Amino acid sequence: MTDTKVRLGIIGLGAEGGMYASLISEGKVPNMQIGAISDILPEKKNRADELGVPFYEDYIAMIESGSVDAVVTCVPHYLHPEMGIAALDRGVHALLEKPVGVYTKQAREVIDFAATKPELTFGVFFNQRTNPLYVDLKNLIASGELGALRHSSWIITNWWRPQGYYDQSNWRATWGGEGGGVLVNQAPHQLDLWQWMCGVPQKCFAKLAFGFRRNIAVEDEVNALVDFGDGATGHFMTATHDLIGTDRLEMLFDKGKIVVEGSKTVTISRLKDSEQELSKDMSMDDVRKLFMGQLNASELYETETTEYDSVWGQQHSTVLQNFAANVLDGTPLIAPGPDGINGVRLANAMHLSAWSGEEVDMVDFDEDRYLVELNKRISDEGAFPTRS
Amino acid sequence: MTDTKVRLGIIGLGAEGGMYASLISEGKVPNMQIGAISDILPEKKNRADELGVPFYEDYIAMIESGSVDAVVTCVPHYLHPEMGIAALDRGVHALLEKPVGVYTKQAREVIDFAATKPELTFGVFFNQRTNPLYVDLKNLIASGELGALRHSSWIITNWWRPQGYYDQSNWRATWGGEGGGVLVNQAPHQLDLWQWMCGVPQKCFAKLAFGFRRNIAVEDEVNALVDFGDGATGHFMTATHDLIGTDRLEMLFDKGKIVVEGSKTVTISRLKDSEQELSKDMSMDDVRKLFMGQLNASELYETETTEYDSVWGQQHSTVLQNFAANVLDGTPLIAPGPDGINGVRLANAMHLSAWSGEEVDMVDFDEDRYLVELNKRISDEGAFPTRS
């Protein structure tokens, strides 16, 4: 490590790994430099040569080379945990791509291992947590100003993926190669943000459709309910077959309401008092006036709409910079690795509920049962090894 | 009956009955006149005298008086079926207020009885079915232009009711007096419209909260999923404690999408071909362009937004006029009585799912089990008789 820069080893130089290499080489992550690159495809060495950094076909060799202080895992989801463990075990910091694992048992392994290495930095790449829109909402909700959550709904269907996208690789959208569909590949950011803002769900019931409007084994359609406890509930709907696409999040609280459209337009309504107090204080005469249209309920709250700019590329640089800062001076992580399990559990619970037709307990989540059911589907597919 | 006007007997001169009396006496229902009025409160005779029509404390006496050709039942929900049967049994046409019954067993009794009297008109007061916005959508969907349904979500929380509303009468928001909360009193119109447009659900899972933010026995909070069959699903969320209120309906189809906001603004997107065809036809090169932002998916569809006027009072006159026209010349009913059971079954299934924690079969709905569970709650309440 130099005094001010973390030397990052990029594992997997595909779309994501390539983007991070460009961001860092263009100086967009001031406290980071590329230490080395590894990829199982030998032809990727050309890009490493262009960047003037060592290249390894074997990522373990890269980790052991002494040329990297940390790694980022830009590889298929199933590999994230084992690569994280391999790095941490050799004294190298680990930034895992989302999801932190395909199933909770696997996610727990890397999280538990990282707990034995408190001196090392262990993060997960939730770049959406650096989006100022969601940071502002997280802070507002955490401040308690809006009170307790009553209910929420997030419709996030602007993940349109044509059949050709799925036909690109034989591992894509398979149980054995990817471990799921839209819940594992496209929606993990929203699954993370949702539980980050609303709280970790306690129960889940979901209707999923597998290969619904695409020729794939896994889910391309999700309509799910969760129970946040204390009567608060949530709805989550996602799909990869909605060409028009919707991104609409609503959260109702005791003292107000938040509606987000297109991850861009935020409308916050703040009640002048808690809703239950306003309800109690309304006289019978006012109730009659309300029904006659002579009293306007909108006098009881104020609404403010804010437009946020799109900050796409920026977010990835910010996550890398925050990760490096944690390594260098202990700056708190935006997305600590252990946080990654919540979204994995939620995706797993949605699968398990759809498979069983039952509401699934998430407080005491049966991760062995999930793995058994997942392995059944991997076996039936017959193309990839089962998992343990 | 006169040659051109149906003489209506209004049972119950409360808010609704009073409104219908005014509409008819003001000439807003050209093919209808008030035949008589009945109410258990003797002081309501004053209004009957003003209108110059006979008054009865006993509705049976009114039905048998020969002064009415038809009745409308503006009374607590539980009474709708028995009053409908009493009228039809005496050769008098029946227009039932929604819901057509509180539980399906009760709804089925009046529907089965009406089937034995095909010469009589039997309707249900779904005034929202005359709303031009929903009529247009129903026709568009029925035409098949948009293809099969994929999923839907309706958030309808602009039913804010303060505590004082519930404290008006001792039967309100009780199991024995009303048989439920927002699902029975406020949301029946949307439950009807939803299944009218999307199809009758086959299964239902719901999270309800009873007395969540109001001091009542019944549900003031609903978050539910339904299965329409063939992988199509729906989400329905309603509440009486959202002061700000949302009314947003989304329906995704194979060839397009409908979004309705505030029961007023309709946005229809029509794909240039079915979504699956567009998905198949997209080359790998186009897929790459799409991901690089060089291809705009919005070129594959056209979007049109229409604003509808509010038509609140109008709707009630239209239902009355359509009902009278069916009596006079057989004009098809907008809302035939038997249609009323679908919304009742959906509300019952949501209750039963929330009570049992299970997904409920609606094709072979266990109406006896529902009644047992409802009666348990009526018994526990101890204020009203159980039902059979």
Measured CA to CA, the distance from residue B13 to residue B39 in angstroms comes to 6
CB contact under 8 A, A279 and B163: yes
Whichever domain contains B357, its CATH number is 3.30.360.10
Q: Give pLDDT, residue B290.
A: 78
B92 and B66, same structural domain?
A: yes
Res A292 pLDDT > 80: no
Q: Which among A278, A276, A259, A255 has a CA at the least distance from the CA of A268?
A: A259
Optimal mutation site among B185, B212, B235, B270, interface A, most CBs of chain A within 10 A: B235
Report pLDDT digits (tens) over A233-273. 999 999 999 999 999 999 999 999 999 999 999 999 999 99
B105 and B201, same structural domain?
A: no
A320 and A356, same structural domain?
A: no
A85 and A72, same structural domain?
A: yes
- Is the residue at B61 inside a domain? yes
Res A3 pLDDT > 80: no
Q: Is B296 on the interface with A (CB under 8 A)?
A: no
Measured CA to CA, the distance from residue B325 to residue B348 in angstroms comes to 32
Q: Is A163 on the interface with B (CB under 8 A)?
A: yes
Res A230 pLDDT > 90: yes
Q: Is B310 on the interface with A (CB under 8 A)?
A: no
- Is the residue at B388 inside a domain? no
B146 and B120, same structural domain?
A: no
Q: Give pLDDT, residue A311.
A: 67
B208 and B264, same structural domain?
A: yes
Q: Which residues of B123-146 are buried (b: 16+ CB within 10 A; e: fewer)?
A: bbbbbbbbbebbeebeebbeeeeb
Give the CA angle between residues A149, A153, A155 to the nearest 5°: 155
Residues of B in contact with A162 (CB under 8 A): 278-280, 282, 286-287, 290
A207 and A356, same structural domain?
A: yes
- Is the residue at B266 inside a domain? yes
Whichever domain contains B17, its CATH number is 3.40.50.720
Average pLDDT over residues A274-291: 87
Percent of chain A with pLDDT over 90: 91
Length of chain B: 388
The residues, any chain, with a CB within 8 Å of residue A58's CB and separated by 6 or more, are A38
B221 and B110, same structural domain?
A: no
A151 in Cβ contact with A359 (< 8 Å): no
Q: Is A269 on the interface with B (CB under 8 A)?
A: yes
Structural domain count of chain A:
2
- Is the residue at B1 inside a domain? no
Report pLDDT digits (tens) over B343-362. 999 999 999 999 999 999 99
B131: helix, coil or strand?
coil
A270 and A363, same structural domain?
A: yes
- Is the residue at B386 inside a domain? no
Report pLDDT digits (tens) over B210-251. 999 999 999 999 999 999 999 999 999 999 999 999 999 999
Q: Is B308 on the interface with A (CB under 8 A)?
A: no
Percent of chain A with pLDDT over 70: 98
A267 and A135, same structural domain?
A: yes
- Is the residue at A1 inside a domain? no
Report pLDDT digits (tens) over B266-305. 999 999 999 999 999 888 788 778 777 788 888 899 999 9
Report pLDDT digits (tens) over B200-213. 999 999 999 999 99
> ipTM value of the model?
0.94
Residues of B in contact with A225 (CB under 8 A): 205, 207, 223-225, 235
**The domain containing residue A244 runs over which residues?**
129-308+343-381
- Is the residue at B32 inside a domain? yes
- Is the residue at A26 inside a domain? yes
Res A1 pLDDT > 70: no
Neighbouring-strand partners of residue B187:
none
A138 and A106, same structural domain?
A: no
Res A52 pLDDT > 80: yes
Res A313 pLDDT > 70: no
B271: helix, coil or strand?
strand
A248 and A137, same structural domain?
A: yes
Average pLDDT per block of 10 residues along chain B, 388 residues long: 86 94 96 98 97 98 98 96 98 96 96 98 94 96 98 96 91 95 95 97 98 98 98 98 97 98 97 95 82 81 94 83 97 96 97 98 98 98 95
Residue A294 CA from chain centroid, whole number:
46
